[in-house]
Amino acid sequence: MYKRTLSKGIFALGFPLAAMMGTAHAAAPEMSAEEMDRAGDIYFQRCAGCHGTLRGGATGPDLLPETTQELGQRRLESIITLGTEGGMNNFDGILDEEEITLISKYIQQTPEEPPEMSLSDIRDTWKILVPQEEWPTEPQHDRNWENFMVTILRDRGAMGIIDGDTKELVTEAETGYAVHVAKESSDGRFWYVQGRDGRLSKIDLWMDPPQATAEVFIGIDARDVAVSHYGEWKDKYVIGGAYWPPHFVIADAETMEPLKVVSTRGYDTEGNYVHEARVAALYNTPHAPSFLVNVKETGQIWQVDYSDLDNLRVDMIESAEFLHDGFLDPTGRYFQIAANFSNKMVFTDTVERKRVGMLETGQIPHPGPGANWIDPECGPVAGTPHLGEGRMTVWGNDPEGHPDQAWEICFSVETDGPGLFIRSHPESGNVWIDQAMHPEADVNQWVMVMNKETRELTPIHVADRPAEHDAVAVHMEYDQTGTEVWVSIWARGRGHQDDGAIVVYDDKTLEVKAVIDGLHTPTGKFNVYNRKNHTG
């Protein structure tokens, strides 16, 4: 059965790793069952997101035996230790030498796929943590909860709730491991977070302190979540998407009871069958009762109509492999997503339910939560950094007002290194860009701030931390007023994970206003007011 454990690895539901492995390739290094279990945990935590549960590759290349054995143990250890200029970060300081040796041996073994999960299996994991009759009818604290920063504490397996007015850490709400993103209810009170271990949690910000009210494991390895915000279905459904098994689960947004599971296995844009067709990203559409389910390996954007779960309508929109992160334009009609290993951005009209554009960008685009703003030449635009090079690419996204610019590149600017996230605000004159994927500290500890009018870049040194902290500056978020920018210092070094921080900047002067220290591996941050109002 799917017994939960405290493991932070792929077997958070109780699957023994050694039992899942097939016969090792003839040339694979020998490993004991204990070593396999330990290496499997490391692989899940640090590698599976880019290279796949079955190691078939996506954002990163495949790690199958025919590839890894040819590289050899020594070369694999060097790559893992030092990283690459193509977007893989260095792991020295994150993993010790013994762990690097271990994972290098592990990826030379023959992978075998984990078990499936039925709707019944998923229901067995469903837990009510706080009964609905005990929920408060009004906030139980006097804090400005709409200016809370709901913050991922990645390796802690929790969400830090930070008061944006006082800069105090209010609480750490227990969630799944390595939450990838958080999504809000329509009023911003409830937050739904999807852990990489498959745990989907619902947090109530009105409680004192805020805490999870219910949870369910929708898979073994998962990434994203979305909440229905349209019409009579407002806050009725929540959807969680899994990397493994490749499926999505629709649950009751109030109780978190799982209602429906749908496989995403299928065919890619060239007609090849894809067994590990992972759900990369999920979004609600503001103009229709539907979720966008982005299937990474097939390049299919599924617009799933939730108005009738018994007669589920799914519009399959073909784009390009490998779908990853995306965001809506300011009108909420057009969806913009990276097909990152195809070096493309893809654009979908969620009203017409069809693709309307696709363009070549730089190497491996990764917009994260994205940014929309007004450019003096091109009008409304949006942009993305890249995992594979130091570049921000900007395109027009106003087909009604600026049809000649729509879905075409407006301009690009060079940064010092590859990054993960970009962020702006309608009241700001700036666009903030991180460089977290560069392997060197003299780049990844800095962010770039671009002036919207002049397109000039100003470098800001954020993460002034010693080498052993392996700290990078990552992910920007504006506060409720749009005058402050919060940047995470993600300290990943062994024994230094609690040395993370958030640096708060004045967006106009670019001067430091506050530093929130002592945070355990802080990464993404989500301001309640901005997110519920779709600001930025």
- List 180, 229, 247, 366, catalytic entry: 366
Q: Which of 318, 338, 367 is the last residue of a domain?
A: 318
- List 180, 229, 247, 324, catalytic entry: 324
Q: What is the CATH number of the domain that holds 81?
A: 1.10.760.10
Number of domains in the chain: 3
Spell 380-403 as b/e; 16+ CB within 10 A means b: bbbbbbbbbbbbbbbbbbbbeebe
Instruction: Classify residue 351 by burial, with Cβ atoms within 10 Å: 0-12, 13-18, 19+.
Output: middle
Sheet strands (E) in 84-178: 127-128, 148-153, 158-163, 169-174
**Is residue 403 a part of any domain in this protein?**
no
- List 21, 31, 36, 88, catalytic entry: 88
**Is residue 329 a part of any domain in this protein?**
no
* DSSP letters for 237-262: EEEEEEEESSEEEEEETTT--EEEEE
386-404: pLDDT as tens digits: 999 999 999 999 999 999 9
Residues 516 and 422 in one domain: yes
392 is catalytic: no
Residue from 112, 110, 103, 111 nearest 27 by CA: 110
- Sheet of 211-217: strands edge to edge? 127-128, 211-217, 199-204, 190-194, 182-184
378 is catalytic: no
Residues 195 and 312 in one domain: yes
Residues 248 and 282 in one domain: yes
366 is catalytic: yes
**Is residue 353 a part of any domain in this protein?**
no
Residues 269 and 228 in one domain: yes
Residue 262, domain extent: 119-142+175-318
Residues 166 and 179 in one domain: no
- List 21, 31, 36, 51, catalytic entry: 51
pLDDT at 87: 66
Q: Which of 263, 293, 318 is the last residue of a domain?
A: 318
**Is residue 78 a part of any domain in this protein?**
yes
Q: What is the CATH number of the domain that holds 198?
A: 2.140.10.20
pLDDT at 86: 65
Cross-strand bridge partners of residue 184: 191
Residues 199 and 158 in one domain: no
Widest CA span of the chain, in angstroms? Answer: 64
**Is residue 385 a part of any domain in this protein?**
no
Residues 314 and 195 in one domain: yes
**Is residue 496 a part of any domain in this protein?**
yes
88-136: pLDDT as tens digits: 778 887 888 998 999 998 899 998 788 999 999 999 999 999 999 999 9
324 is catalytic: yes
pLDDT at 19: 37
Residues 59 and 154 in one domain: no
Residues 240 and 135 in one domain: yes
Query: How far apart (Å, rounded) are the C-alpha atoms in residues 67 and 52?
Result: 15
Structure-derived torsion over alpha carbons of residues 293, 296, 301, 304, reported in degrees to the nearest 10: -20
Q: Tokens representing 332?
A: 């909420």
Q: Give the H or E element holding residue 319.
A: none
- Which amino acid, one-letter code, is at 469? H
User: In sequence order, which residues have a C-beta less than 8 Å from that of residue 120 and are 6 or more positions away?
Assistant: none
386 is catalytic: no
- Helix 97-106 to helix 33-46 angle (10° resolution) is 100
Residues 152 and 264 in one domain: no
pLDDT at 39: 87
Residues 183 and 65 in one domain: no
pLDDT at 85: 66
Please list the ranges in the chain whose pLDDT falls under 50. Answer: 1-25
**Is residue 334 a part of any domain in this protein?**
no
51 is catalytic: yes
**Is residue 22 a part of any domain in this protein?**
no
Q: What is the CATH number of the domain that holds 461?
A: 2.40.128
Residues 485 and 447 in one domain: yes
Task: Give the helix, strand, coil percentages of the chain, each rounded to 5.
Answer: 15, 40, 45
* DSSP letters for 399-468: TTT-TTTBTSEEEEEE-SS--S-EEE-TT-SEEEEE-TTSSSHHHHTEEEEEETTT--EEEEE-----GG
Q: Which of 287, 318, 349 is the last residue of a domain?
A: 318
- Helix 97-106 to helix 73-82 angle (10° resolution) is 120
CB 518 within 8 A of CB 501: yes
